[in-house]
Amino acid sequence: MNTADPNLARASMVLLKQAADSIAQVILGKDEQIRLALTCLVAQGHLLIEDTPGVGKTTLAHTIAQVMGLDFQRIQFTSDLLPADILGAAIYNREQASFEFHQGPIFANFILADEVNRATPKTQSALLEAMEEKQVTVEGETRALPQPFFVIATQNPVHQLGTYPLPESQLDRFLMRIHLGYPDKKAERDLLQGEDRRNLIAGIKPVLDGSKLLMMQKQAAKIHVADALLDYVQAVLEFTRASPMFEFGLSPRGGLALLNAARALALIEGQAYVLPDHIKAVMASVVNHRLEATSDELGDQGKTAAAYICESVPIP
Amino acid sequence: MAVDNHKLTPVLIGIYLIALPMFTRLPPYVVLLVVAFTIWTLLLIAGRIRQPVSIIRFLLAITVIFSLLVSYGTIFGKEPGTAMLLMLLFLKLFEMKSNRDVLLVIFIGYFLIATHFFHSQSPWIAVYVFVVVIYLTSLLIIFSDRLSSTSFKTRIRISARMVMQSVPLMLVLFVLFPRIPGPLWGIPEDVRTSRTGISDEMSPGSINNLISSSEVAFRVQFKSEPPEARDLYWRGLVLSNYDGKTWKRDDASIQMRPDTSYIAAEAKIVDYTVMLEPHGQKWLYSLETLMANEGPYIVTRELQVITENEIKSVMQYSMTSNINIFNKGLSEEEKRKNLLLPVGINQRTIDLAKQLRRRSGTNVSTYINTVLGYFRTEPFRYTLSPPLLGGDAMDDFIFRSQQGFCEHYSSAFVYLMRAAGVPARVVIGYQGGTFNPVDDYMIVRQSDAHAWTEVWLDDKGWVRIDPTAAVSPDRIDYGIANAGLEKARLPSILVSNSKLLLQLRYTIDSFNHGWNKWIVGFNNAKQKQLFESLGIDDIDMATLFSWMVVAMTLSGALVAFWVFASAGKKDKQDVAVHYYDVFCRKLEKSGLSRAPSESAEEFLERVVQTFPALEQKAGFITRAYQKMRYGGRRGVSDKTYFIQAVKRFHVDKKIKKMQK
């Protein structure tokens, strides 16, 4: 049985703590979201940040990229963006008299896909396919994307004008969806008083690099999951499928997502095994964008699907 | 590391548990010393006195040896040896310097507890020894557990489990250990050993004294139809020498072999197996008339069955008898001996014999009937409390008291026969027996002890005549309990009216019987039989030994596998869930109940909010639970502490007051 190496696990925890602290210097009062974003990164998943413009989505993504020491590309999605603008294209080279592939911005470790729901579905799916496959096929030739590969997509709330909402099948590709929300009063005051965030980002030193991140991802995958915990995850899946509150239950991929996210969180917390609390902690970000309520009942109670699940499923 | 005095209390209790079955056997001097040592140890434990210096310990040792010498005359042998070890255990309590000393005491304890089997191999003593071994093992746990973190109950549980784990090994050794026919080694015999049972001579009162004992003499399993009660004469010894008071055996006849011509007679064969309780003597009991037997026993000319050694443990033997025939063979020498009477006493009895003989003519059979008729018609009484007899005992009995028990009647009958020139002798043994309906075997008790006679008839041989039957026919036909004797002197089991009690007694006896047959009686022959039934003939000791080693290894591996398997996942999981549940229930009593969907961590948070004082304890329990439940192989070592913590966890009033 391959188990996590305790030394590597401890080193991972320390590094991730440093990374979180660095990010928190820029993104004020959002410790929880920072932690979830890192969890998503360590779990080899992609992150969707959904919120109104101006709450710091782009800044968060940018800061993470900086701290991770990863090769960073930003793609601003607009309604006229084409798949080739993301993936790259073959261009004729007159001197060599041949077509030459010019890599698009997707060939990077860290992609910020800004306002992803403003692009047409065709362009969206080009991105999402690349996310899933970790490779792109252009002109019949398959090219692998660099490792690690991590996408943070931001989107405006779906009801805003000029948006093409991502279909459920594509939302499922994102391991987590988080909301940033407005900062609290103190954080907002600090923000208003402080330096320009963009300047701060430039001043942050990278804590990690690509190889360290890959190592952490491997460690996270080895975090122990007990039978008792699998029982709990299965109980959650079963519950969402049987409950009349939801249109559809969670897919097996949803279950895996829960488990992987919980593993990554356990690593971040320095725990050698996954607890039900880890599952609960990632529940909202992993589950809410995958489930659709049948009625407004939950919303009326002021509860999200995740909260409803957490308080309904007994821990075996 | 010095041994804490307060830790000596359990050791002292252990020594007492070991000694308990010995106390009745210990001589008064030794008991006195035990009391003195106990008081001394208790003072030591209370911290009133310090450990005695070495010179005092030396003097105490001398005292012990001296008092044993005074009581036993020796310090060797079974009794003095075990008493000596016991005393040294007490003495050792005065020089507990390190854990090593305690270990020594415990290991000697293991040995001493096994010596109880010298005296008894009953199932009850086996159970007792088993329990004490568990207790002794729990002492080992105290002295290897430096944190003293285990409670008494936990220790007993752990040690019971350890002892249970050794049971397969014990069974292997029991079945396969090579058995040597006869005792394994000679233990010096003690003079003091005495056992209930028939002795090798008979005087008025000697059988009478056995009647009130309900002790089992032997148990019999019949392979064929059991004979009727009046045919159940269990022959023990033949007594042919009379000195005017006591009947004794004739030693010369032991050297002679029986006349086997009787075997040809018409047969009414009985096959049976006897499980003889140890009686400390050198003879066996057989149904009259013995025809064939298994085993290395000597059958004498008088058809007594003699063993080489005294019977000190339960013995099992199979025999074949023919209840229809009589022993034959009377040499001139035997004839002379069986007519001998002490000279110059009991003249009236001799006159009576002559008178009756004259009246009956030449036929011996008529004479026998005349004598029996005399007993029947004269006011003779069958009683357990006959009056004492004077110098001419026979005259006194026949003409004055006329009250007696079987030994009086058989003795008087043989006397009258010999006085009239008819060779006769006394036979002692048991008569009758009761069937145990639970397991279908016969129990013969000491209360069935009996004496009867044999008279020589030229045409038939030695004919059994039981003069007691003339006085009290019910004794023979319906057993001792129904012979109209004084009920108060008979064992209560024989005269009890309670059906339930009787049933219980029979059930217990049947358990004893099974124990004797299969556990105590598992000897060389049984072992052989077992292997033969498995199709293995003629197994030699070396092969048996190597089998034993292989089986021991296998059973050890099996137990080890079981231990490791159960120490792993499942057991740990069950323990975690069970005791976490106990923890939650304890909190529920204080008004905090865990919701089913609440994780241990979330619950802990609430607990700490309500009872901040419990943060540490509840925190420990929660962490340990999580580790055991979700940590894979982690947390196995925490199990004991986790259980302890949960057991000790409680929300007391002080904590409740501090509740926010």
Residues in chain A: 316
Average pLDDT, chain B: 82
Across the interface, whether the CB atoms of A226 and B598 are under 8 A apart is answered no
Across the interface, whether the CB atoms of B598 and A280 are under 8 A apart is answered no
Name the nearest CA neighbour of B270 among B324, B219, B304, B320: B320
Is B414 in contact with B424 (CB distance < 8 Å)? Answer: yes
> What value of ipTM does the predicted structure carry?
0.85
Give the residue on A whose Cα is nearest the Cα of B630: A226
B477 interfaces chain A, CB cutoff of 8 Å? no
Antiparallel, parallel or unpaired: β A150-155 and A98-103: unpaired
B529 interfaces chain A, CB cutoff of 8 Å? no
pLDDT digits (tens, 9 = 90+) for A293-308: 777 777 777 678 888 8
Number of C-beta neighbours around residue B7 at 10 A: 16
Query: Tokens at residue B545, please?
Result: 């030994």
- For residue B211, what are the β-bridge partners? none
Separation in Å, CA of B629 to nearest CA in chain A: 7
- Under DSSP, is residue B61 helix (H, G, I), strand (E, B) or coil? helix
Phi, psi (deg, nearest 5) at residue B292: -150, 155
Query: End-to-end alpha-carbon separation of chain A, Å?
Result: 25
Query: Is A191 exposed, middle or buried, given 0-12, 13-18 or 19+ CB atoms closer than 10 A?
Result: middle
Query: What are the angstrom distances between the C-alpha of B638 and each of B140, B316, B331, B577, B634?
Result: 21, 53, 86, 14, 9
Nearest to B597 among A227, A274, A314 (CB): A314
Separation in Å, CA of A218 to nearest CA in chain B: 19
pLDDT digits (tens, 9 = 90+) for A126-170: 888 888 888 888 777 888 888 888 898 888 776 667 778 887 777
Domain A1-222: CATH architecture, name and number where available? 3-Layer(aba) Sandwich (3.40)
Query: Is B358 exposed, middle or buried, given 0-12, 13-18 or 19+ CB atoms closer than 10 A?
Result: exposed
What's B360's DSSP letter?
H
- Under DSSP, is residue B93 helix (H, G, I), strand (E, B) or coil? helix
Distance CA A295, CA A246 (A): 8
- Please say if the pLDDT value at position B548 is more than 90: no
- Under DSSP, is residue B309 helix (H, G, I), strand (E, B) or coil? coil
A263 interfaces chain B, CB cutoff of 8 Å? no
Across the interface, whether the CB atoms of A312 and B597 are under 8 A apart is answered yes
Query: Tokens at residue A70, please?
Result: 């990863």
Give the residue on A whose Cα is nearest the Cα of B595: A314
Domain ranges for chain A, please list them.
1-222, 223-316
Angle at B332 (CA atoms; ends B331, B333), nearest 5 degrees: 90
Those residues whose C-beta lies under 8 Å from the C-beta of residue B346, and which sit 6 or more positions away, are B244, B392, B393, B394, B395, B415
Q: What is the DSSP string of B602-639?
A: HHHHHHHHH-GGGHHHHHHHHHHHHHHHHSTTTTSTTH
Number of C-beta neighbours around residue B190 at 10 A: 16
Is A67 in contact with A22 (CB distance < 8 Å)? Answer: yes
pLDDT digits (tens, 9 = 90+) for B133-143: 999 999 888 87
Query: Tokens at residue A264, please?
Result: 């990554």
Across the interface, whether the CB atoms of A275 and B630 are under 8 A apart is answered yes
Phi, psi (deg, nearest 5) at residue B345: -125, 170
More confident residue, B591 or B549: B549
Least confident of B52-61, B126-135, B139-148, B468-477: B139-148
Is B235 in contact with B273 (CB distance < 8 Å)? Answer: no
**Rama region for B123: left / alpha / beta (φ>0; ψ in -120 to 50; rest):** alpha
Distance CA B625, CA B443 (A): 59
Is B436 in contact with B506 (CB distance < 8 Å)? Answer: yes
Residues in chain B: 660
Those residues whose C-beta lies under 8 Å from the C-beta of residue A52, and which sit 6 or more positions away, are A156, A157
Distance CA B467, CA B372 (A): 6
Nearest to A313 among B597, B600, B632 (CB): B597
A3 interfaces chain B, CB cutoff of 8 Å? yes
Share of chain A above pLDDT 90, in %: 14
Those residues whose C-beta lies under 8 Å from the C-beta of residue B21, and which sit 6 or more positions away, are B116, B119, B120, B125, B128
Query: Tokens at residue A146, please?
Result: 């660099």
Distance CA A36, CA A261 (A): 9
Across the interface, whether the CB atoms of A275 and B596 are under 8 A apart is answered no
B574, B630, B634, B638: best mutation site toward chain A, by most A Cβ within 10 Å?
Answer: B630
- Please say if the pLDDT value at position B497 is more than 70: no
- Mean pLDDT along residues A199-226: 86
- Mean pLDDT along residues A174-181: 88
Separation in Å, CA of A228 to nearest CA in chain B: 7
B570, B593, B597: best mutation site toward chain A, by most A Cβ within 10 Å?
Answer: B597
Separation in Å, CA of A291 to nearest CA in chain B: 20
Across the interface, whether the CB atoms of A272 and B597 are under 8 A apart is answered no
Across the interface, whether the CB atoms of B634 and A272 are under 8 A apart is answered yes
B602 interfaces chain A, CB cutoff of 8 Å? yes
- Please say if the pLDDT value at position B493 is more than 80: no
Phi, psi (deg, nearest 5) at residue B308: -75, -40
Across the interface, whether the CB atoms of A228 and B597 are under 8 A apart is answered no
- Mean pLDDT along residues B471-496: 73
pLDDT digits (tens, 9 = 90+) for B611-660: 888 888 888 888 888 888 888 777 666 777 888 888 888 777 776 666 65
- Please say if the pLDDT value at position B601 is more than 60: yes
pLDDT digits (tens, 9 = 90+) for B248-307: 888 777 777 777 666 555 678 888 989 888 888 888 999 888 877 777 788 888 888 888
Those residues whose C-beta lies under 8 Å from the C-beta of residue A74, and which sit 6 or more positions away, are A58, A61, A62, A105, A111, A112, A114
Distance CA B159, CA B133 (A): 9
Antiparallel, parallel or unpaired: β B403-404 and B381-382: parallel
- Please say if the pLDDT value at position B439 is more than 80: no
Separation in Å, CA of B596 to nearest CA in chain A: 5
Number of C-beta neighbours around residue B351 at 10 A: 12
Rg (CA), chain B: 34
Interface of A with B in 199-228 (CB under 8 A): 224, 226-228
Across the interface, whether the CB atoms of A275 and B632 are under 8 A apart is answered no
- Looking at beta carbons, which pairs linking B648-655 to residues 24 or more positions away fall under 8 Å? B649/B583, B649/B586, B649/B617, B649/B618, B649/B621, B650/B586, B651/B586, B651/B587, B651/B589, B651/B590, B651/B611, B651/B614, B654/B613, B655/B611, B655/B613, B655/B614
- Please say if the pLDDT value at position A192 is more than 50: yes
Query: Is B597 exposed, middle or buried, given 0-12, 13-18 or 19+ CB atoms closer than 10 A?
Result: middle
A3, A274, A277: best mutation site toward chain B, by most B Cβ within 10 Å?
Answer: A277
Query: What are the angstrom distances between the C-alpha of A100 and each of A62, A106, A137?
Result: 31, 17, 15
Give per-residue burial for B34-72: e unless 16+ CB within 10 Å, then b. beebeebbeebbeeeeeebeeeeeeebeeebeebbeebb
| Chain A residues within 8 A of B629 when measuring between CB atoms | 226, 228
Rg (CA), chain A: 20
Name the nearest CA neighbour of B584 among B568, B565, B599: B599
Distance CA B430, CA A258 (A): 86
Nearest to B599 among A226, A227, A315 (CB): A315
Query: End-to-end alpha-carbon separation of chain B, Å?
Result: 46
Cα-based torsion angle of the residue sequence B69, B72, B74, B75 in order, rounded to the nearest 10 degrees: -80
B631 interfaces chain A, CB cutoff of 8 Å? yes
- Under DSSP, is residue B535 helix (H, G, I), strand (E, B) or coil? coil
More confident residue, A1 or A210: A210
A234 interfaces chain B, CB cutoff of 8 Å? no
Angle at B271 (CA atoms; ends B268, B274), nearest 5 degrees: 135
Across the interface, whether the CB atoms of A311 and B626 are under 8 A apart is answered no
Angle at B538 (CA atoms; ends B532, B539), nearest 5 degrees: 90
pLDDT digits (tens, 9 = 90+) for A68-95: 888 888 888 888 888 888 888 888 888 8
A135 interfaces chain B, CB cutoff of 8 Å? no
Which pLDDT does position B193 carry in this prediction?
Answer: 46
Fold classified for A223-316: Helicase, Ruva Protein; domain 3 (1.10.8)
Least confident of A185-194, B334-343, B483-492: B483-492
Across the interface, whether the CB atoms of A228 and B601 are under 8 A apart is answered no
Those residues whose C-beta lies under 8 Å from the C-beta of residue B207, and which sit 6 or more positions away, are B198, B405, B406, B407, B428, B449, B450, B451
Helices (H), B188-243: none
HEC letters along chain A: CCCCCHHHHHHHHHHHHHHHHHHHHHCCCCHHHHHHHHHHHHCCCCEEEECCCCCCHHHHHHHHHHHHCCCEEEEECCCCCCHHHHHEEEEEECCCCEEEEEECCCCCCEEEEECHHHCCHHHHHHHHHHHHHCEEEECCEEEECCCCCEEEEEECCCCCCCCCCCCHHHHCCCCEEECCCCCCHHHHHHHHHCCCHHHHHHHCCCCCCHHHHHHHHHHHHHCECCHHHHHHHHHHHHHHHHCCCECCCCCHHHHHHHHHHHHHHHHHCCCCECCHHHHHHHHHHHHCCCCCECCCHHHHCCCCHHHHHHHHCCCC
Which pLDDT does position B1 carry in this prediction?
Answer: 41
